[in-house]
Every structure is written in structure tokens, then in C-alpha cells.
């Protein structure tokens, strides 16, 4: 049994989003997608895969890199 690649999953998700847009409209679909992304990150946080300290360190590192360019 073979597993699906990320390209195949992406194609399926894209097709489902397009079908949803055609069925219920753009605004409602965008709302569902936004809450789905938020739910994904909340789930990662609750599972312990996402740390607030890691996010702060990444943001500070990015800020320092941006300030170094100017």
C-alpha cells in the first residue's frame, strides 16, 4: 500500500476548497479556511509541538536580521 504525497494531498485539498467556493461562496469558504488554520495551530500548541518561547525566539531573530539590513 502506498501513501499519498504532499502534492496529492495538496491537489485534493485545493479541489475541495474550489468545490466549496462554488457551492457556498467565497466569503464562507474563506472563513472556514481561516478557522481551520487557526485550529491547526491551536492543536499543535495543545499537543506540545508548538512553543510560545520558540515563536518569540524566531520573531526576535527575524527582527534582528531585518534591522541588520537597514
Which runs of E-coded beta strand occur in 1-70? none
Q: How many CA atoms lie within 13 A of 18 on its CB side?
A: 6
- Identify which has the larger pLDDT, 29 or 59: 29
Reported for 56-61, long-range contacts at CB under 8 A and 24+ positions apart, including other chains, are: none
Tens of pLDDT, residues 4-58: 998 999 999 999 999 999 999 999 999 999 999 999 999 988 998 888 888 888 8
> Model pTM?
0.64
Distance between CA atoms of residues 51 and 44, nearest Å: 9
Q: What is the predicted pLDDT for the residue at 55?
A: 83
Amino acid at each position: 500500500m502506498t501513501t499519498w504525497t504532499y502534492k496529492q494531498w495538496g491537489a485534493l485539498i485545493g479541489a475541495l476548497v474550489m468545490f466549496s467556493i462554488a457551492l457556498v461562496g467565497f466569503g464562507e469558504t474563506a472563513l472556514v479556511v481561516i478557522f481551520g488554520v487557526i485550529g491547526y495551530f491551536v492543536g499543535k500548541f495543545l499537543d506540545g509541538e508548538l512553543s510560545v518561547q520558540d515563536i518569540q525566539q524566531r520573531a526576535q531573530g527575524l527582527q534582528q536580521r531585518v534591522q541588520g539590513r537597514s
